[in-house]
Amino acid sequence: MVSARLFSKVLVANRGEIAIRVFRTCRELGIDTVAVFSEADRTAPHVAAAGEAYLIGPPPARESYLVMEKILDAARESGAEAIHPGYGFLAENAEFAEAVIEAGLTWIGPPPEAMRLLGDKTSARRVAVEHGVPVLPGTPDPVTSTEEAISAAAEIGYPILLKAAAGGGGKGMRVVEAADDLEAAFRMAASEAASSFGNDSIFIEKYITRPRHIEIQIMADSHGTCLWLGERECSVQRRHQKIVEESPSPALTAETRQKIGDAATAIARASGYVGAGTAEFLFEDDRFYFLEVNARLQVEHPVTEMVTGRDLVHDQLIVAAGRPLDLTQEEIRPEGHAIELRIYAEDPENSFFPSPGTITFLEPAAGPGIRHDSGVTAGSEVTLFYDSLIAKLISWAPDRQRAIDRLLRALDEYRIAGVTTIIPFLGEVLREESFRSGTYDTTIVSRMQEDRSGREDDAGDRDAFLAAVAAALFRTAAEGGLVGDEPPGTEPTMSPWVVKGRGDWRWQR
C-alpha cells in the first residue's frame, strides 16, 4: 500500500481549519494523526479530528503554538514520524525546521536553507535580481533603526511599504505616505512582526498605489522536478491580508501567465526549493514585479486544487517522503474557474475589527461546486488569541461568471449566529462592478469602504433634512389647529402627525 511507504503518523503543529485539512488527506492515505492544542482550544474541532491530541500550553500563541520544544515533546511522546506546520505560527521558521530534522523527524516543508534564503524577503529579492526577475525599488537588507528607515525612504521616495522580513499574511506591514508618519509606523510594524514571527526585522520597498496581486503555486521534489500549478489573483485585501482569491486571474494573458510562471520556478530552482510554496508578484500595466516567496502552503490553496484536480497536501507528503512527483509541467492543465472567500469573525462596519464570541449556530452552504473548509462548529469560541478566520467558502464552475453566481447563492444559504462576520461584505464584493468585470485591483476594498461612508453621510444628511421639514410642517399644522392634542401616554393615530378632519397631511417615503 502506498501510504505504508510514506509515514505511519503525522503531527500538525497548528490549529483550526488547516489542521483539519491536513488530517483529512492523512486519513485518506492511512496515516495516523496527532493534534496539539492550547488551553483555549481544548474543545476545538481540530482536536476532535485527530487520532490523538496533546496540550502544549496556555492560550497565548507565544506560550503554546510558538514554543518549539513543546511541539517536539508532543511529537516524541506520540511517536509521530513527521511534522506538518500548516501556515502561520512556525510554518516559515527555519530554526524550527532544523530542530524537527535534528530530532530525527521529517519536516513536511522546504529545506531550512531554502527557507532562510527565500523566507527572508531581502535575500529573496537578491535571488530574483540575480535571475533577471524584476523587483520594486527597495532596501537590499532589513533596516535596523528609525534613522536608517528615514534615510532609505527618502532615497526610495514616498509612498513606501514597511514589510516584515520574516513573514507574511499582512502582519508587520504598514503603508507610509509621508516622512512625518514613518517613525510611528516603523515601531508598530516591528512590534507586530516580533509578536507574529519572533523576528522584528523590517525592510522597505516602493509602494504601488493600484496594482494587482498575483501569486504562483510552486511544487518541487528532491529529484529535480519543479512545477508551477497556475496562478491565483489575490487583489481583494483588507489590512494587506487577502479575503477573496480566484484562479485563473482575469488580468493575465497566456503569454504573461507563462512569463510569471517561469520567473517563479527560476527563483525556486535557484534556491534548491523542495515542497509547496508560493511566489508572489505585483502586476500593473502588463508588468510584473517579484515580491516574496511564502515557503509553505497558502491559506488559498483550495482554489488551485479546484482548477487542477491536485491534492496539494498529498503532494507535500509525497515530496517529504522523498518520492518524485507523478506529473510534468505539460500535464498541468487548469480547468474552469474557482473563487475562495475567507469568512472572518470581523465587523466591516468597524474597520474589520475582530468580533470575538461564541458561535451559537452554524449551517454552512453546500451544493454542486461548493467546498467549505472550516475549523469551527456551533459552540466554538472565537477568541482574540488567534486569527479570526472561521472558514473558507470555495466555488468551482466552468467559467468565472457562474463561479461568482454560485458563490452568491452559497452566501445566501450560509447561516451563522453568535458573532459578526464579513459575509454581507463578501456579497457586496461579488456584486461590485469592477470585480464582476475582472478589472479590480488592490484598492477595491478601500474604495468600497469610502463609497459606503459616503452613502452613510448622504443618508444622514437626508434624514436630517426630512426631520427639519417634518418639524416645520408640524409647527405650521399646530398653529393652524390641524393637529389634535393626544392625552399623555396614548399612541398617535398617524405617524408622524395626528390630523383632524379630512387627512390633509400624509407621510410619504
**Alpha helix (H) residue ranges in 370-499:** 400-413, 423-431, 433-437, 444-479
3-class SS at 130?
Answer: helix
Determine whether 296 is an active site residue.
Answer: yes
Helix (H, G, I), strand (E, B) or coil at 356: coil
Residue 376 CB: number of other CB atoms within 10 A? 24
- Closest CA relative to residue 280, chosen from 265, 271, 290, 272: 290
Question: Distances in Å between the alpha carbon of 246 and those of 37, 379, 428, 447?
Answer: 31, 31, 16, 20
Cell of 353: 475589527
> Which of these, 425, 371, 403, 414, lies nearest to 17 by C-alpha position?
371
Greatest CA separation for the chain: 94
Q: Is the dihedral of CA 97, 100, 102, 106 positive or negative?
A: negative
Give exposure, 389-419, as e/b (b: 16+ Cβ within 10 Å).
bbbbbbbbbeebeebbebbebbbeebebebb
Please, what is the end-to-end C-alpha distance for the chain in angstroms? 71
Rounded to an integer, what distance in angstroms lies between the CA atom of residue 153 and that of residue 205? 8
- 125, 296, 310, 342: which is the annotated catalytic residue? 296
Other beta carbons within 10 angstroms of residue 436's beta carbon come to 15
Residue 494 in grid coordinates: 398617524
Distant-in-sequence, close-in-space partners of 269: CB < 8 Å, separation ≥ 6? 220, 226
Give the integer Cα–Cα distance in Å for 92 and 116: 9
The catalytic residue positions are 296
